[in-house]
Amino acid sequence: MPEVLMAVLPMILWFVERLLPFPAVVEEAAKALVVVRADSRRQAFFWGLIFGLSEAFLFLVNANLLADLSGFWRRLALTVPMHGVTAGLIMLWGKRYWWLGLPVAMLTHAWFNLRIAS
């Protein structure tokens, strides 16, 4: 069930980010609510990849509406792994201390947005 939630979460967050335009905070906080149920960092990483693939699909649909697919492959190659890594970072210290990994994941995501994605 968490896999399905991670697949639909980007669609839900798309509306939230219209009100709160801080994707690093919004996305990592939402992912953390699901990832804390993971049994391992590896499982959290794969759930993050599902989130990233779903977000890439949402981007593809929107880019198709705009008739501009130029950024899709770059987004797929860079953003999907970033979401896997940040989901794993949330679980870096395990289930009990997931809240220690959350700010690390948020900072990693924000750095990625500023340095790589822009």
pLDDT digits (tens, 9 = 90+) for 71-104: 778 888 999 999 999 999 999 999 999 999 999 9
Cβ 16 vs Cβ 26: under 8 Å:
yes
- Is 87 within 8 Å of 48 (Cβ atoms)? yes
**Residue 72, pLDDT score:** 79
Nearest-5° Cα angle at 36, 32 to 38: 120
Q: Could you say which residues of the chain have pLDDT below 50? A: none
Q: Whole-model pTM?
A: 0.90
3-state secondary structure of 71: coil
Q: Is residue 102 within 8 Å of 32, Cβ to Cβ?
A: yes
